[in-house]
Structure 1
Amino acid sequence: MKKLLISMLILGTLAACKKRETKPAVQTVDSTVQAGTDSTNVTQNKVNKEESLKKANDEVLQALKNKDYKTFASFIHPEKGVRFSMYAFIAPKEDKNFSKADFEKYQPAKTLFTWGSQDGSGDAYKATINDYLAKWVFSKDYTQSQYSVNKFIGKGNSLNNLKEIYPKADFTENYIKGTEKYGDMDWKTLRLVFEELHGKYYLIAVVNDQWTI
């Protein structure tokens, strides 16, 4: 009888164990932590982008200052080339646009190009690539300028359509303020428009701006 009772107790215990189901642990994602991680990644990506743009900007400026046009050419977009605009208003059909190959071909030559019309007189501005870069594009030492990224500093009286022409591109601004002698109206700025390709920022436009009549 005692053995029978023990057997029944054992069977009951086993049956009870079978009925117990161990519920799997449910992993929950803390939405606050996830949102914080995403925000951190976005911020870090923005910082990395701005650092890359600043580095590219400074290297282009240094190349122009040193008249190192081989280095400058290495920044020309391999598919879109680079466009040069004399003033803030960009005219895609009129402004000079060079592929990297054409720039490297004509840069050492004495070929004269018409870059646009000079403000005030309306006369055509004709110059070799070297003269245009040295006397117009880098007419001031922009390595000593005030810098910004995707933000305009110099604001004149000519139409600025950079964001309309290059809505998806990034640009840097290198601004040199005017002097008291001329009521600060002799300011100049150089904008470099970049587009990323295969992890590198390439130049697609070089835009000068200044006060116009």
Structure 2
Amino acid sequence: MYFAKKIGGLALIAAMLWLTACSGTPEAGTEPKQTPEQTQEQTPVQTQKPIPEQAPEQTEKQTPEQTSTAQSAATTESPQETETSSTGQPQDLEGLPPLVEEAATTVIRSIKNKDMKQLAAWVHRDKGLRFSPYAYVDTKNDLVFTREEVEGLMNDSTKRVWRTFAGSGDLIELTFADYYKRFVYDADFIQKAEIAVNKGLGQGTTINNLNEVYPKEQYDFVEYHIAGIDPSVEGMDWRSLRLVFEKIGEDHALVGIIHDQWTP
């Protein structure tokens, strides 16, 4: 009896141990549960570091390659302005013969500024400079001056006869300074004039024989024309100043200053 009870007790203990073993085995497809301590040991906590803000100076800085690229793009998109010299001509054209427009611009400025030295530098070395008070060029009576004479004309007190006044026929007897005021720069040709090359703009009753005296094959001229100064006289006070240049190869030399205006 005693042995039967002992055997039954052992069987009961074995059954309990078997049930305990079965309950500790995980079901298929189910991961075993881990304690918080096991989880903490196996999976280290990852902390995301905050991204530091960049200072404005760091944000705007560029690498040398980026800076070089940006400068090249700026140069391509915004071409630099052409630099000019003290003569008013682009520096890349210095040393080249001036166009007649460029020559005339320099001459008209020297006339306005009464810079006779600069004006004389443009005068034809052999033919000199002829002054004509009206459109008709009188090759016999118009006064012609050498380059050296032109340089000193503004300070020359000598009265000369520069032909006759249109209409009255009176002698135009004036110093060069007075002639200049009446028959050279008697209006603001630089600021107010229309400009044309080898084309006449002003036309009065006086015959214009410019192309006969100065054939276009050999000469160029630039005309500065003001259609009128006082509106009340309805254009009867128009003015023109024509600068005539001989073509010497690709260069130009000043040979004539022709004044023109309305005549009766």
TM-score normalised per structure 2: 0.59
* Residue in 2 that maps onto 1:154: 202
Looking at both structures, which has the greater relative contact order when contacts are Cα pairs under 8 Å and sequence separation is at least 6? Answer: 1
Q: Deviations over 1:137-192 (max 9, x none)?
A: 00001102100000011111110000001112110100001243112121000000
Q: Give the AA of the match of 2:185.
A: F
Contact 1:67 / 1:134 at 8 angstroms: preserved in 2? no
Ranges in structure 1 where 5+ consecutive residues have no aligned partner: 1-47
Quote the Cα distance in structure 2 between the aligned partners of 1:159 and 1:198.
30
Residue ranges of structure 2 left out of the alignment (5+ in a row): 1-95
Q: CA deviation at 1:52?
A: 1.1
Q: d(CA) in 1 for partners of 2:231 and 2:209?
A: 28
Q: In the superposition, relative to structure 1, how do residues 66 and 107 fare at CA in structure 2: closer, same or farther (>3 Å)?
A: closer
In 2: Cα distance, 1:60 partner to 1:128 partner: 21
Give the letter aligned to residue 120 of structure 1: G
User: Residue type matched to 2:168 in 1?
Assistant: S
Structure 1: distance between partners of 2:131 and 2:115 = 18
CA contact (8 A) 1:195 1:201 kept: yes
Question: Following the alignment from structure 2 to structure 1, what is the Cα–Cα distance between the partners of residues 183 and 152?
Answer: 20
- Name which of 135, 138, 148 aligns with 1:91: 138
Letter in 2 for 1:201: H
Q: Which of 202, 212, 234 is matched with 1:183 structurally?
A: 234
TM-score by length of 1: 0.72
Amino acid at match of 1:175: H
How big is each residue's C-alpha offset from its partner over 1:51-74, in whole Å with a ceiling of 9 and x where there is no partner? 711111111111111111111111
The answer to whether structure 1 residue 196 and structure 2 residue 247 are counterparts is yes
Q: Name 2:180's counterpart in structure 1.
A: 133
Give the residue type in structure 2 aligned to 1:190: L
Supply the distance in 2 between the matched residues of 1:101 and 1:151 (Cα, whole angstroms): 30
Aligned to 1:33: none
TM-fit CA distance, 1:207 = 0.3
Structure-to-structure mapping, 1:32-51, within 5 angstroms: none
Question: Could you say what secondary structure the match of 2:99 adopts?
Answer: helix
The secondary structure found in structure 2 opposite 1:74 is: helix
Q: CA RMSD of the aligned region, Å?
A: 1.8
Corresponding position: 1:82 with 2:129: yes
| Segment drifting more, 103-112 vs 157-166 | 103-112
- Structure 2: how far apart are the matches of 1:66 and 1:134? 12
1:65 is the counterpart of 2:112? yes
Number of aligned residue pairs: give it. 165
| Structure-2 separation of matches of 1:100 and 1:199 | 21
